[in-house]
């Protein structure tokens, strides 16, 4: 078999000089009627046949008491780079038609996907704070000093940057 030459670790120089690599086995160059014939005799006796065991596989799904992971969390486990995660979310948003489908990904597309990711993370990790802010109730004690508030559904906190002439997205 000519492919055996390569799998046996021959160097390129050795392959060039190898008789079957460049020319194929000798018998292939002959007329097809001269090719070797391997005799095959089918067994007529059932006792000569090997035993075949049938293997049955079962797939069982067991419901779990754990909370089901969000699609975003599952996606973040598969995509390890922030920029790739943002672009993937853009394509998901385009597919679900929440963003106008355009050719190239724009900064607006990336910003929209970033906001979705931040909202999902905050919803998962700060549900009590988010609920209090949405219902305009007093925040949990641990967050009061930070003076949290909502902008576009995203939790923001007060601080010295309030005095800066910047938008919340900077």
| Residue 49 domain-assigned (yes or no) | no
Q: What is the mean pLDDT of residues 81-92?
A: 88
Domain count of the fold of the chain: 3
User: pLDDT category, 99, cuts 50, 70, 90?
Assistant: low
Q: Give the distance from CA 169 to its chain's centroid.
A: 28
Same domain as 167, residue 143? yes
Same domain as 106, residue 95? yes
| Residue 100 domain-assigned (yes or no) | yes
Q: Does residue 129 contact residue 140 with C-beta atoms inside 8 Å?
A: yes
Residue 42: the pLDDT is: 63
Residue 132: the pLDDT is: 93
Instruction: Count other C-beta atoms under 10 Å from residue 123's C-beta.
Output: 15
Host domain of residue 15: 2-40
Structure tokens at 36: 């070797």
| Residue 140 domain-assigned (yes or no) | yes
Same domain as 141, residue 114? no
Residue 133: the pLDDT is: 92
| Residue 110 domain-assigned (yes or no) | yes
- Looking at every residue in the chain, the average pLDDT score rounds to 78
Q: Which of 63, 60, 64, 70 is nearest to 127 (CA)?
A: 70
132 or 60, which is more confident: 132
Examine the pLDDT at 138 and tell me if it is beyond 80. Answer: yes
| Residue 88 domain-assigned (yes or no) | yes
Same domain as 30, residue 18? yes
Examine the pLDDT at 62 and tell me if it is beyond 70. Answer: no
User: SS in 3 state form for the chain?
Assistant: CHHHHHHCCCCHHHHHHCHHHHHCCHHHHCCHHHCCCCCCCCCCCHHHCCCCCCCCCCCCCCCCCCCCCCHHHHHHHHCCCHHHHHHHHHHHHHHCCCCCCCCCCCHHHHHHHHHHHHHHHHHHHCHHHHHHHHCCCCCCHHHHHHCCEEECCEEECCCHHHHCCCCCCC
Residue 68: the pLDDT is: 73
Q: Return the minimum-mean-pLDDT range out of 13-27, 37-51, 76-90.
A: 37-51
| Separation of alpha carbons 144 and 133, rounded Å | 11
Same domain as 101, residue 131? no
Examine the pLDDT at 1 and tell me if it is beyond 60. Answer: no
Examine the pLDDT at 14 and tell me if it is beyond 60. Answer: yes
């Amino acid at each position: 078999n000519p492919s055996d030459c390569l799998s046996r670790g021959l160097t390129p120089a050795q392959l060039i000089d190898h008789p079957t690599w460049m020319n194929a086995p000798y018998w292939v160059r002959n007329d097809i009627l001269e090719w070797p014939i391997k005799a095959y005799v089918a067994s007529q006796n059932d006792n000569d046949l090997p035993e075949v065991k049938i293997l049955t596989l079962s797939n069982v799904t067991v419901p779990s008491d754990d909370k089901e992971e969000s699609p975003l969390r599952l996606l973040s486990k598969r995509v390890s780079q922030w920029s790739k995660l943002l672009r993937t979310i853009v394509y998901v948003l385009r597919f679900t038609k929440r963003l106008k489908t355009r050719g190239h990904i724009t900064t607006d597309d990336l910003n929209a996907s970033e906001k979705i990711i931040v909202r999902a993370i905050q919803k998962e990790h700060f549900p009590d704070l988010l609920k209090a802010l949405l219902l305009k109730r007093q925040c949990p004690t641990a967050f009061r000093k930070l003076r949290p508030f909502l902008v576009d559904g995203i939790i923001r906190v007060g601080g010295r940057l309030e005095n800066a002439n910047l938008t919340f997205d900077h």
